[in-house]
Structure 1
Amino acid sequence: MRVISGIRKGHNLKSPKGKNIRPTEDKIKESLFNIISPIIDDAIVLDLFSGTGQIGIEFLSRGANKAFFVDKSNISISIIKENLLHTKLLDKSIIHNKDARVALKLFTEENLEFDYIYIDPPYKEYELVTQTLEIIVCNNLLKSTGLIIIEHDNDLILDDRIKTLIKIDIRKYKNKSLTFYRIGDKI
């Protein structure tokens, strides 16, 4: 697992042994960034259910201004910190060792808005995806020009519309999918 592009291109990232954390495959990560490029200058990014932190790190490497990493696993938080130190991106990062829903409420209290929100929840926890999206929308955590990307298994079929969010794209890769949402009408 490595940083694919940007100022930290080629840096290897640590990943835990075992199957509890499923890092996004390089092929999917590369496809994701090809789809959303160019990154908004000085973007604020939220990497929910961060695991290794590789998605937020990739955003930072490609020019994002700040990334927020959220994971409730102590092991994941330790790996995220190591990866941020190794890539020298810790100064552009804020790490929260919390349940995603608790962190989202905290961000609401802080009046934060994000340009990109990447959601990679534990697979098969379908209700968690909907709950997370509803919290984001109801609390205006996504900027009006922002983008939500959800990584999930192919068994999960997400609604075309969730409150003010419109599904604008879905990409399938073997057993995983990336689903993209924006606020308002299709672009």
Structure 2
Amino acid sequence: MRIVGGKFRGRVLASFKGKDVRPTSDRAKEALFNILAPEISGANVLDLFCGTGGIGLEALSRGADLVVFNDVSADSLAILRKNLALLRTDAKIYNLDYAALLDRIDVTFDVIYIDPPYKSGFGADALRRIAARRLLNTGGVAVLESDRPWEGEIEGLVRYDERKYGIAYLTFFTPD
């Protein structure tokens, strides 16, 4: 895992392999941040289901003001903390179930990245909670990474784009 752009570009990050670990590919990450470039500088970013934090660390590298990381895996978050120390930067880290975090967090975001375990169904539920609590700022972007194209609607959000990178689909939403 490495940072593909910004002030930490090219830095190799600590990571670990496991059967439940599926980092976003460098190709998908680079494409994502090319799309989100105007949104990142000065932004509040939530990396939900962050794993070892590749997306949020990339956002920090590209100038995000605040990045909030959340994952249920203490092992993944330990690697994230090592990477934050390696980059000599700081962020807010939560070790909570995604629903608990979304139900109690009191920050709104410009970018929310949702990368749940594939086939879990957590992505649609996370989007519903984000819309219901209005956690996405006007003009903000929520991005769902999944293994299949998006089907359905989420009240309060509009799907405006979808891209495929390898086996991953990135689906983009904004508040309606």
Q: Same fold (TM over 0.5)?
A: yes
Contact 1:146 1:183 in 2 (8 A): yes
* RMSD (Å) for aligned C-alpha atoms: 1.1
Contact 1:151 1:178 in 2 (8 A): yes
Partner SS for 1:145: strand
Contact 2:132 2:156 in 1 (8 A): no
Select the residue among 127, 135, 142 that pairs with 1:141: 135
Listed as ranges, the matches of 1:100-179 within 5 Å are: 100-107=98-105, 110=106, 112-126=107-121, 128-154=122-148, 156-159=149-152, 161-179=153-171
Going from structure 1 to structure 2, the CA distance change for 1:30 and 1:40 (only over 3 Å counts) comes to closer
1:129 Cα deviation after fit:
1.3
| Corresponding position: 1:6 with 2:6 | yes
Partner SS for 2:55: helix
| One-letter amino acid of the counterpart of residue 117, structure 1 | I
Partner SS for 1:6: coil
Partner of 1:65: 65
Unaligned runs of 5+ in 1: none
TM-score (norm 1): 0.90
Partner SS for 2:39: coil
CA distance in 2 between counterparts of 1:164 and 1:106 reads 19
Q: Percent identity?
A: 43
Contact 2:49 2:70 in 1 (8 A): yes
TM-score (norm 2): 0.96
| One-letter amino acid of the counterpart of residue 137, structure 1 | A
1:174 Cα deviation after fit:
2.4
| Corresponding position: 1:45 with 2:40 | no
Partner SS for 1:151: strand
Unaligned runs of 5+ in 2: none
1:139-184, Cα deviation, whole Å (9 max, x unpaired): 1110011100111102x5332x310101000001221110000011
Aligned residues: 176
| Corresponding position: 1:22 with 2:2 | no
CA distance in 2 between counterparts of 1:176 and 1:165 reads 21
Contact 2:45 2:66 in 1 (8 A): yes
CA distance in 2 between counterparts of 1:168 and 1:133 reads 14
